[in-house]
Amino acid sequence: MSDLVLGLDTFGDVPVDDAGVPISQAAAIRQVVDEAVLADQLGVDVIALGEHHRPEYSISTPETVLAGIATRTGRIRLASGVTVLSSDDPVRVFQRFATVDALSNGRAEVILGRGSFTESFPLFGYDLSDYDALFEEKLDLFVKLLDEKPVTWTGTMRAALENADVFPKTENGLRTWVGVGGSPQSVVRTARHGLPLMLAIIGGDPARFAPYVDLYRRAADQLGTVAHPVGMHSPGFVADTDEEARELFYPAYKVIRDRIGALRGWPPLRRSEFDAEVAHGSLYIGSPETVARKIAGAVRTLGVGRFDLIYTAGAQPVSARTRAVELFGAKVAPMVRDILGG
């Protein structure tokens, strides 16, 4: 699979230094930029930055950080992962990513989603009861903006547009995906708009998402739109050995998992559950060989064209994160391509 895209994904988790002391959110943002520069040097295909509005995460405006990365890199593609379109304005999102596209000489991508966290809704004055309607309407407008022609549009969630032209224009269009967590309706909507599908697979056997990949392709065929190569992103961590990767990752991962779980009614994470997820589920944790084999297996099972590893999940040490990026670019990505024969 010579056209397989392999990337890295982060929400800008605030890490600790080697003494175990959390660094500032400002330093965490700069750390992500340094990691993206390293990934670029190592040949990683894409870096994706997620939007969050919580104290554990430093990135609330992915496109701002991507703009900084654009000026220090030369080839890596620059994506959001995801941009919460429901609580943003489609025109401003398009303008900001078109600007990143200009700064990066055509490397910008946006992955639009409804968001698995809801902090942005009250923060920006949106009602959670409009959760679905907001995304439906705003995605409809965003798709029209992608033509980069004057837009006339009417909805119920924002002011209407009458022959409105939006600037800046891109030179070759803005690559746009829709991030989906497992809703069949969301898969069909993505196909209806003719956009690429990015599956967020954060737990369980990835094979259970095969019906969604099939649904996307069948829906595109029936609707007469284009079925693009599907992407997926899942959490993981790479270290020199399997044991080191697990021991570096688990303590901080349990803290963030239990903190989020308390808000969602989940029981505390047990080590046995974690180990089972590493062995059979959607945690890609271990040595380069272990992670590469597992990624290749998921790519082959689902037939996807892109895999992004969410390489931060909690306050792992800065030095370990840097090493994880290094190992992914220098060893994991080439091994995956070798296993898949491309």
Residue type (1 letter), 323: R
* In the chain, where the domains are located: 5-339
Mean pLDDT of 259-280: 94
Above 70 in pLDDT, residue 164? Answer: yes
CA–CA distance, 117 with 267 (Å, rounded to integer) = 18
Label residue 196 exposed, middle or buried (CB < 10 Å: 0-12, 13-18, 19+). buried
pLDDT given at position 299: 98
CB atoms within 10 A of CB 221: 12
CB atoms within 10 A of CB 132: 13
pLDDT given at position 15: 97
Above 70 in pLDDT, residue 33? Answer: yes
DSSP secondary structure string for all residues of 282-324: S-EEESHHHHHHHHHHHHHHHT-SEEEEE---S--BHHHHHHH
pLDDT tier at 115, thresholds 50, 70, 90:
confident
- Regarding the domain with residue range 5-339, which homologous superfamily does it belong to in the CATH classification? Luciferase-like domain (3.20.20.30)
Computed over every residue of the chain, the mean pLDDT equals 96
Q: How far is CA 255 from the centre of its chain?
A: 21
Strands of 129-168 (E only): list them. 151-153, 161-164
pLDDT tier at 2, thresholds 50, 70, 90:
low
Above 80 in pLDDT, residue 59? Answer: yes
pTM above 0.85, yes or no: yes
Above 70 in pLDDT, residue 286? Answer: yes
Above 70 in pLDDT, residue 24? Answer: yes
Grouping H, G, I as helix, E, B as strand and the rest as coil, residue 226 is coil
Above 80 in pLDDT, residue 1? Answer: no
| Helix%, strand%, coil% for the chain, nearest 5 | 50, 20, 35
Above 90 in pLDDT, residue 209? Answer: yes
* Residue where the block lists tokens 């990835």: 206
* Range of weakest confidence among 113-127, 191-205, 220-234, 306-320: 113-127
Backbone angles phi, psi at 177, to 5 degrees: -115, 165
Above 80 in pLDDT, residue 342? Answer: no
- Whether the CB-CB separation of 266 and 255 falls below 8 Å is answered with no
Above 80 in pLDDT, residue 199? Answer: yes
pLDDT tier at 274, thresholds 50, 70, 90:
very high
Above 90 in pLDDT, residue 182? Answer: no
Sequence-separated (6 or more) residues with CB below 8 Å from residue 107: 70, 75, 76, 77, 78, 101
CA–CA distance, 185 with 193 (Å, rounded to integer) = 12
Grouping H, G, I as helix, E, B as strand and the rest as coil, residue 153 is strand
Provide the token pair at 155. Answer: 């909805």
Mean pLDDT of 118-142: 94
Above 90 in pLDDT, residue 105? Answer: yes
Share of the chain above pLDDT 90, in %: 96
Above 90 in pLDDT, residue 263? Answer: no
Mean pLDDT of 255-281: 94
Backbone angles phi, psi at 265, to 5 degrees: 80, 20
Sequence-separated (6 or more) residues with CB below 8 Å from residue 139: 85, 90, 112, 178, 189, 193
Residue type (1 letter), 14: V
Sequence-separated (6 or more) residues with CB below 8 Å from residue 295: 6, 284, 307, 309, 332, 336
pLDDT given at position 172: 98
pLDDT given at position 116: 78
* Residue where the block lists tokens 């024969």: 341
Sequence-separated (6 or more) residues with CB below 8 Å from residue 257: 266, 269, 313, 314
CA–CA distance, 4 with 6 (Å, rounded to integer) = 6
